[in-house]
Structure 1
Amino acid sequence: MAATGPTLYLVYEPEGACFDRLVSEGFSARAAAEVSSYLAQSTDLAPEFELIAGASAQRGIAFQAVELDEAAAVLGAANRNNSLVWTLTDGIAYFRGGVSPALARLNGLATIGADDSLFALCQDKFRAGAVLAALGLPVPVSGLARGGTWLAEPPASASGYFVKPNRLGAKIGIWEDSHCRQASDALALAERVFEAYRDDVVVQPYVPGRNVRASFLALDPEAGPGALGIFFVDSGGDFQTMADSLALYGDTGAAAKAGGRYAEPALVSVDSIQPVAAQRIRQVAARLMSALGLRDVYSLDFRVEPDDTVHLIEFEVCPGLPCFDFRAYCRREWRLGLAEAMAETAARRLLR
């Protein structure tokens, strides 16, 4: 039955559904488990759906969590005058969440977040990098390889290269040797990625510095880049690998918590150490919001050097809401837990 009052619909793709589909398409069970782990935020948030519903009810709106395979029917029956669609998990290749904002648009429903064109763009790192460079933003120049063949060669680099899948989630690297020295090593990594995941790789000159995550939620619909939470993310390594990700989220992360082995990376305010770099990051965010159309909720990944040079690595229109860094951002910026922040964000739009 379709909801009648103001309603927030949260559309998500479950890990299990993705795993089963990938196995049916011929992926190994190991690769399917690794790939579907990128959807761990849907697993991690599901136990809090009742909290979100309660926080929403307190603010005069209803909440409905919708599995992606049910989204076409549910959104097709939604009232276009008082419905709001929030897409939790994106994807255009291994994952299918990018269809959710398109379904919302098809049915004339308002959405939280960027439009569906950006859902597609951010999931293709090579194309996204080209667009960001055209906007004059500080992104590394990328090469593109498929298997052992260059589709676009990267520039020469004295610092070596960084290799990452082009469309697989948002991770900076897969293996510990994702930072390699020679272009030939990058091609060898490209072959490994293609064999395991059937994906092209982006090959960029390695950029030094510390990892920074900038998180944004426009709890106030008029919020701008000043509402960014900008933090160094210090995990003890130079970059996050697939193994690091598995240890933090989903079933593996839950098992680590239960066994007392879970350790979150440290979050340190960039403003407190490098305020010039923090201001440059806000300028990048302002440019992305005005020229590219980022809005409502997103995250940006940077590398920041000691001299305040910033390198934009990528942007995400579906940041990991239940992840430690976004929860910390909601507490510090908005003084709310995640469920309350989501409900307040939706209510301020639905009840305006």
Structure 2
Amino acid sequence: MPNPKPKLILVHEPEKACFGRLVGDGFPSERALEITSYLAQSTDLAPEFDALAAACDRRGLAFAPVELDNAASALAEADPSTTLVWTLTDGIAYFRGGAAPALARLDGLRTIGADDSLFALCQDKFRSGAVLGALGLPVPQAGLARDGKWLVEPPASAAGWFVKPNRLGAKIGIWPDSRVSELDHALELSRRVFACYRDDVVVQPYVAGRNARASFLGLKPDTGVEALGIAFVDSGGDFQTMQDSLALYGETGEAARAAGAYIEPELVAVGDSQPAADARIRRIAERLIQGLGLRDVFSIDLRVEADDTVHLIEFEVCPGLPCFDFRDYCRAQWGLSLADAMAEAAANRLGDGLRRG
């Protein structure tokens, strides 16, 4: 009897399923649409599932995209000796993708990406900031407010503060007035965020600099920080709002592009103009890999000042794979399309496991 073909299972939470659940939970349709827009990488990648299947087949793998609601049964039926699970969409609050790596672990299946504990940590910005600070990383200190009341007061800041949701959207400020000069304004924003999204807000001292992103895909299990793609992401604004985010992905992004309301941000390699900052970001990534356990696929968002001061804003264990920046990274670093890069990483991970098994 022939050996079963190794298989890559890609678990993803569709926008539509999440939208229905949020509306059923009492969110107005407009807010539910905004929230579910963060799952648009499922929408954007779905048209490429055939290309992914073909790329996997060329490398001797089967490919199975599985919607999150079907993941428990699909993973329970999978063969631990020949299966690799890749979780496309994360979440512990509005979204539920963080359950997938936990289910995989429960069923004894290998995964690509960080372990399930980091899926939970990265979605809670206040807690993750505390852990990153304990690791000695340059993350801004933070206060925490809920519906107009301080749970933790923020530190003093001569430059003002930046206000963002704790569990929704990571670094975005939701509204254009999310940089504030008065803490009363921060509390007002916390009331607005709570009313609209039922979330707390993180209030951090405002840090200057250009927005930068470090992208990573470990094509081979021993790939290190030399493979990071580190670029300034210049979109014309100081920070991203909800409206900016809606223009990046999914159906809302398609509409924005069709209407001419979206200009793709420019990517410029940090090392071209600030090699010292590039080196610092690689050391930060190395610390995240060693001290936190990031691996295989992740991204890091940062602010870089002109004097090479680097501020770590957040890390993501489910970076936006179909987004322009990660596609550009796959082409520039690996010379591969997104589908081929994903399939190659999965084949190498499975092959390494099969050899060791």
Length-normalised TM-score, structure 1: 0.98
> How far did 1:259 drift?
4.3
Mapping 1:18-167, distance limit 5 Å: 18-167=18-167
Aligned partner letter, 1:70: N
In structure 2, the partner of 1:290 is 290
In structure 2, the partner of 1:189 is 189
User: Is the Cα contact below 8 Å between 2:249 and 2:323 reproduced in 1?
Assistant: yes
Distance in 2 separating the partners of 1:6 and 1:256: 40
Distance in 1 separating the partners of 2:149 and 2:256: 39
User: Is the Cα contact below 8 Å between 2:41 and 2:250 reproduced in 1?
Assistant: yes
Distance in 1 separating the partners of 2:180 and 2:121: 27
1:13 maps to 2:21 = no
Distance in 1 separating the partners of 2:48 and 2:293: 30
SS in 2 for 1:289: helix
SS in 2 for 1:300: strand
Aligned partner letter, 2:46: A
Distance in 1 separating the partners of 2:200 and 2:17: 24
In structure 1, the partner of 2:231 is 231
Distance in 1 separating the partners of 2:195 and 2:119: 26
User: Is the Cα contact below 8 Å between 1:234 and 1:265 reproduced in 2?
Assistant: yes
Distance in 1 separating the partners of 2:256 and 2:182: 36
1:310 maps to 2:310 = yes
Q: Which runs of 5+ in 2 are unaligned?
A: 353-357
SS in 1 for 2:144: strand
Aligned partner letter, 1:112: I
User: Is the Cα contact below 8 Å between 1:122 and 1:128 reproduced in 2?
Assistant: yes
In structure 2, the partner of 1:249 is 249
Distance in 2 separating the partners of 1:152 and 1:209: 26
SS in 1 for 2:273: coil
User: Is the Cα contact below 8 Å between 1:208 and 1:303 reproduced in 2?
Assistant: yes
SS in 1 for 2:21: helix
C-alpha distance after superposition, 1:5-41 (max 9, x if no partner): 2000000000010110000000011110000000010
Distance in 2 separating the partners of 1:63 and 1:197: 36
User: Is the Cα contact below 8 Å between 1:143 and 1:204 reproduced in 2?
Assistant: yes
SS in 2 for 1:295: coil
Aligned partner letter, 2:190: A
C-alpha distance after superposition, 1:117-162 (max 9, x if no partner): 0000000000000000000000000000001100000011110000
User: Is the Cα contact below 8 Å between 1:171 and 1:242 reproduced in 2?
Assistant: no
Distance in 2 separating the partners of 1:293 and 1:160: 33
Distance in 1 separating the partners of 2:229 and 2:7: 28
Distance in 1 separating the partners of 2:52 and 2:260: 27
C-alpha distance after superposition, 1:152-194 (max 9, x if no partner): 0001111000000000132321110010101111000000000
> How far did 1:242 drift?
0.6
Aligned partner letter, 2:348: R
SS in 1 for 2:81: coil
SS in 1 for 2:247: helix
SS in 2 for 1:271: helix
1:198 maps to 2:216 = no
Distance in 1 separating the partners of 2:256 and 2:44: 13
Percent same amino acid at aligned positions? 69
Distance in 2 separating the partners of 1:94 and 1:257: 27
C-alpha distance after superposition, 1:258-278 (max 9, x if no partner): 445442100000000100000
Q: Which runs of 5+ in 1 are unaligned?
A: none
SS in 2 for 1:136: coil
User: Is the Cα contact below 8 Å between 1:148 and 1:191 reproduced in 2?
Assistant: yes
SS in 1 for 2:208: coil
C-alpha distance after superposition, 1:242-264 (max 9, x if no partner): 10011111101122334454421
SS in 2 for 1:288: helix
Distance in 2 separating the partners of 1:152 and 1:181: 18
C-alpha distance after superposition, 1:183-224 (max 9, x if no partner): 111000000000000000000000000000000000121111
User: Is the Cα contact below 8 Å between 1:171 and 1:241 reproduced in 2?
Assistant: no
Cα pair distance change 1:260/1:149, threshold 3 Å: closer
Superposition CA RMSD, Å: 1.0
In structure 1, the partner of 2:170 is 170
Length-normalised TM-score, structure 2: 0.97
User: Is the Cα contact below 8 Å between 1:10 and 1:87 reproduced in 2?
Assistant: yes
